Amino acid sequence: MNGQESSRTLWPLGMVGWGDHWTLLAWCEKRDAYRNFRFDRIQDIVLLPEHYPQHLERNLEHYLTRIIGVEDEQKPA
């Protein structure tokens, strides 16, 4: 937001298109939190050899249900 470059280790969770932009939803190791990154602002991507660590509170389902409140209609209440 402030225009400064940063380097981050991200665990990608999904992509969302809105308007003219695509956004990467990811877990950010630097901030230890979910963050969104516009693809048109990413200058370089390096694929690391590590595999995504499984975590109950760092995944797309957790983000959708607990963070933004989207209900899974196929799961029983």
CA dihedral 15, 16, 21, 27 (to 10 degrees): -50
When computed from its CA atoms, the radius of gyration of the chain, rounded to whole angstroms, is 14
Residue of 25, 45, 46 lying closest to 35 (CA atoms): 25
Q: How confident is the model at residue 3 (pLDDT cuts 50, 70, 90)?
A: confident
Where do the domains of the chain lie? 10-67
Q: How confident is the model at residue 71 (pLDDT cuts 50, 70, 90)?
A: confident
* Whether the predicted pLDDT of 77 surpasses 90: no
What pTM was computed for the model? 0.80
The kind and range of the H/E element at 60 are: helix 60-62
3-state secondary structure of 4: coil
For 5-54, the pLDDT digits (tens) are: 899 999 999 999 989 999 999 999 999 999 999 999 999 999 999 988 88
Total residue length of the chain = 77
